[in-house]
């Protein structure tokens, strides 16, 4: 997605760097402040939401703090993805059922 944004803006390496700096701006200022415990930056996540789309700015990198922050983020993301998959599957099953009912008429 980052490369697509750079291509859409018709930029080269400097434009790509500017996009990355925009995404990571807050993290670049937070990470140098070393802290301990729950205040410590555990990981910085750059996902689709952080990047945005070609024509829409993202929310920026997510800064995860504290012990097991990455594990908690992954679990939460997996649960959300599973719900979306199940919702999509339920819709497909309903469509297949309706088609079978139409064919049997």
44-71: per-residue pLDDT in tens?
888 888 888 888 888 888 888 877 888 8
Judgement on whether residues 4 and 23 belong to the same structural domain of the protein: yes
Length of the chain: 105
Asked whether residue 31 falls in the same domain as residue 79, the answer is: no
91 vs 14, residue with greater confidence: 14
- Yes or no: say if 67 and 38 are a contact pair by the CB < 8 Å rule: yes
61 and 93 in a common domain: no
Determine the structural domain holding residue 60 and report its residue range: 1-66
Tally of domains within the chain: 2
Q: Are 41 and 1 part of one and the same domain? A: yes
Do 62 and 17 belong to one domain?
yes
Judge if 61 and 94 occupy the same domain. no
Is a pLDDT exceeding 80 seen at residue 105?
no
Helices (H) and strands (E) in the chain, counts: 4, 4
Q: What is the DSSP letter of 39?
A: G
pTM higher than 0.75, yes or no? no
- Regarding whether 55 and 9 lie in a shared domain, the answer is yes
């Amino acid at each position: 997605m980052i490369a697509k944004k750079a291509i859409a803006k018709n930029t080269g390496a400097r434009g790509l760097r500017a996009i990355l700096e925009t995404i990571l701006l807050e993290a670049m200022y937070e990470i140098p402040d070393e802290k301990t415990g729950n205040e410590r930056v555990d990981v910085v996540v750059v996902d689709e939401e952080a990047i945005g789309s070609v024509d829409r700015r993202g929310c920026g990198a997510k800064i995860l703090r504290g012990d097991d922050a990455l594990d908690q983020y992954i679990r939460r993301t997996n649960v959300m993805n599973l719900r979306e998959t199940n919702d999509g599957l339920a819709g497909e099953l309903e469509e297949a059922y309706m088609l079978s009912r139409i064919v049997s008429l």
